[in-house]
Amino acid sequence: MDFTYKRYRYSLKKRDQKAFEHASKVIDAIAELDQGQQCELLYFDESGFSPNPSVQYGWDRIGQTRAVEPLAYRKRVNVLGALRYNGRLTWTTQQRPTTPNDVIAFFDQVADESHDVPRIVLIDNAGIHKGSPIDKKRRQWAKHGLYLYYLPPYSPELNRIEILWKHAKHFWRRFASKNGSELLNEVQSLMSGYGTKFTINFG
């Protein structure tokens, strides 16, 4: 019938390829230090879970691309997470927009956790990840052995936690609309189940 079943793709804006390749090498070096127990590498990001599950695939006529229309807005559940290179996940959820103060509170918690080696956090350039309050806190976190490494713009492939968000939204969620406390409970169940009920092979 001249239809094809395919994944809907989102294109990235142009990025600095040299900066991307440099950051990739830096991350590989940090990962080696982590494996040698000389530091802890963490991938940080936040993500929002909509009451309506994400649609990744659909039927289109061959040669045509259909746009996915946004569904009616309802309250989301937002998650802040730090994924350790060894697979351990630290996370928190909230039912309101994420602010710089939320990011600061999250890193305060991570910095206060007991650790014997420096912790290096990979983080993107979102507006809530930067600014004067964050800069002031970075000096305090450094005293606790916590350091931020900012990724080049438009480089989600370098942040391993992006893969976790994708799996949680597209593969682990039940394909049913939920809202309010039901959505919150589902998201918290996904996060707490990571590493046992839900796993990812990053190989």
pLDDT along the chain (203 residues), means of 10: 58 81 98 97 96 66 62 77 95 95 97 94 96 95 97 95 94 83 94 94 77
Residue 201 lies in a domain: no
Question: Which runs of consecutive H residues, i.e. helices, occur in the chain?
Answer: 17-35, 100-112, 132-143, 161-167, 180-192
Residue 5: predicted pLDDT = 60
User: Residue 169 is part of a domain; what is its CATH number?
Assistant: 3.30.420.10
- 78 HSE (CA, 13 A, CB side): 12
Residue 103's contacts (CB-CB under 8 Å, 6 or more residues apart) are 46, 80, 128, 129, 134
Residue 22's contacts (CB-CB under 8 Å, 6 or more residues apart) are 152
Give how many domains the chain has, as a whole number.
Answer: 1
Domain that holds residue 157: 3-8+16-192
Residue 199 lies in a domain: no
Residue 160 lies in a domain: yes
d(CA 93, CA 48): 9
The length of the chain, given as a count of residues: 203
pLDDT tens digits, 139-194: 999 999 999 999 999 999 999 999 999 999 988 988 777 888 999 999 999 999 99
Residue 198 lies in a domain: no
d(CA 120, CA 61): 47
Residue 74: predicted pLDDT = 61
Residue 108 lies in a domain: yes
Residue 157 lies in a domain: yes
